């Protein structure tokens, strides 16, 4: 479990796209990155506007294809292929050490920060392999924000925490409004509106976690990755975070690692079950996984026979 801070604004640049050039132009193929099913090798900016929704089905936003991850010579993930739908909550569950956090960190290239980590295969965000040479990981992490197990607000005021990323990006127009919107979306505004200038460190753990979510939201991501975001919180704070996650899925695509199977069953639409050895054993609608999984190993895990 990494404690790195994907939202650390000091790690950011002013680019608004995930590609190095940031100029929003097509490469020589002239094809459009917006097509999530496209196989093309592209260098166009990836924007929210360029999407289409298939009839009835949620659009795929993230897709791993034959993804292998190694730490030095040890393989942590084996041949992971799955599609993550837009505006849904996708839960990653499985016993300790099965690679859930590794997969989550692969999505926004947080594993780049681990020297021993090596990736093979593809991880596509809106059809574009995020491991292509022209992808800027800092810009990628702005589009794919991350919230960690332990709340990690900066030692600054509540306001400055939320505004930090926007200031780094020079997006200070209507800053008060943007901060307020992010705090509202994170279901925190009403609790802190009279203390915006006070230290974020004085908030409760649950409030700090919602502040970290507000900080991630403020820079307008499309995807929010959450690595056990409620595991350090008490039951009431956990319940608020769970309610919030369901609300967030109206605006964002949420991918959450959780050890808590009840939590996965309560809040997620899709569930991926990883088992020992870094194998994705089953991935399906959450209801199906919990009520009638295809795999006996998954059933054994869900019913507590191991793990």
Q: Which residues bind ligand ATP (CB under 6 A)?
A: 1, 71, 76, 94, 96-102, 114, 116, 259
CB of 112 to ligand ATP, least distance (A): 12
Q: Tell me whether residue 150 or residue 259 sits nearer to ligand ATP (CB atom).
A: 259
Sheet holding 253-257, edge to edge: 128-129, 117-125, 60-71, 74-85, 279-285, 270-275, 89-93, 253-257, 223-227, 144-147
CB of 299 to ligand ATP, least distance (A): 19
Q: Tell me whether residue 68 or residue 191 sits nearer to ligand ATP (CB atom).
A: 68
CB of 97 to ligand ATP, least distance (A): 4
Q: Tell me whether residue 156 or residue 259 sits nearer to ligand ATP (CB atom).
A: 259
CB of 172 to ligand ATP, least distance (A): 36
Report d(CA 37, CA 306) in Å as an integer: 37
Q: Tell me whether residue 92 or residue 183 sits nearer to ligand ATP (CB atom).
A: 92
Q: Tell me whether residue 29 or residue 96 sits nearer to ligand ATP (CB atom).
A: 96
- From residue 265, alpha-carbon distances to 214, 271, 285, 288 in Å are 24, 8, 10, 10
Contact present, 66 and 279 (Cβ < 8 Å): no
Report d(CA 5, CA 15) in Å as an integer: 19
Between strands 279-285 and 60-71, the pairing is unpaired
CB of 119 to ligand ATP, least distance (A): 13
Place of tokens 């753990």: 205
Contact present, 205 and 157 (Cβ < 8 Å): no
């Amino acid at each position: 479990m990494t404690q790195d801070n994907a939202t650390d604004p000091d790690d950011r640049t002013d680019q608004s796209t995930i590609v190095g050039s940031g100029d929003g132009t097509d490469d020589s193929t002239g094809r459009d990155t917006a097509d999530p099913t496209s196989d093309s090798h592209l260098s166009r900016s990836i924007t929210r506007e360029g999407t289409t929704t298939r009839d009835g089905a949620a659009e795929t936003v993230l897709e791993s294809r034959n993804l292998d991850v190694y730490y030095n010579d040890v393989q942590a993930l084996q041949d992971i292929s799955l599609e993550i739908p837009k505006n849904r909550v996708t839960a990653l569950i499985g016993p300790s050490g099965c690679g859930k956090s590794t997969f989550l960190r692969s999505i926004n290239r947080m594993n780049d920060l681990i020297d021993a980590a090596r990736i093979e295969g593809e991880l596509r965000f809106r059809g574009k392999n995020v491991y292509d040479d022209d992808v800027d990981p800092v810009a990628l992490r702005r589009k794919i924000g991350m919230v960690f197990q332990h709340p990690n607000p900066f030692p600054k005021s509540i306001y400055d925490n939320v505004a930090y990323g926007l200031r780094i990006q020079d997006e200070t127009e209507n800053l008060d409004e943007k901060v307020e919107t992010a705090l509202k979306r994170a279901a925190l505004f009403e609790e802190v509106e009279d203390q915006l200038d006070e230290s974020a460190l004085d908030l409760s753990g649950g409030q700090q976690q919602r502040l970290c979510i507000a900080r991630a939201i403020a820079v307008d991501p499309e995807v929010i990755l959450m690595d056990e975001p409620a595991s350090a919180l008490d039951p009431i704070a956990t319940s608020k975070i769970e309610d919030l996650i369901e609300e967030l899925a109206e605006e964002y695509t949420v991918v959450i690692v959780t050890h808590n199977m009840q939590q996965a069953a309560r809040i997620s639409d899709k569930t991926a079950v990883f088992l020992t050895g870094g194998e994705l054993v089953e991935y399906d609608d959450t209801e199906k996984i919990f009520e009638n999984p295809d795999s006996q190993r998954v059933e054994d895990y869900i019913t507590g026979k191991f793990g």
